[in-house]
Homo-oligomer: A and B are copies of this chain.
Amino acid sequence: MSTQPSKQLETFDNATPDRDYTIHIETSEFTCLCPKTGQPDFATIKLDYVPDEKCVELKAFKLYMWSYRDQGAFHEKVTNTILDDLVAVCQPRFMRITGIFNVRGGVYTTVVAEYRKEGWVAPEPVTLP
């Protein structure tokens, strides 16, 4: 695998497809450009998902994050696009992207978007005391 920024997200086979389980991936090293001013924006990106047949490869995830470094991107739109791209390659049962953007003008912004595979029902959560 190259160490170039890349929109090509890679996956590997889920070794435990018979079980709904959760993978959480998080990086505070996301940066893109503001489409209005051209100046750098910074964010923490969180990914939570329940894999189906495929899992997101970690290094490819990192190179994908890198691919936004020279790209203009609005907060609301880029969060939804990252979700769409990740859903497209790994076809999960459930996926959530959270984008926590750095303060601008005294204002903090967080955007959260989710995908649920048609027909998939989340397991009833067990709340232990």
Contact = CB atoms under 8 A, between A and B. Distances in A.
Given A76-B14, A96-B129, A126-B129, A109 B24 contact: yes
A129 B20 CA distance: 10
Total identical chains: 10
A106 B65 CA distance: 11
Contacts of A16: 76-77, 80, 113
Contacts of A123: 114
Given A16-B80, A126-B114, A25 B107 contact: yes
12 contacts: A3-B39, A15-B77, A16-B76, A16-B80, A19-B80, A23-B111, A24-B108, A29-B31, A29-B42, A61-B107, A62-B107, A94-B126
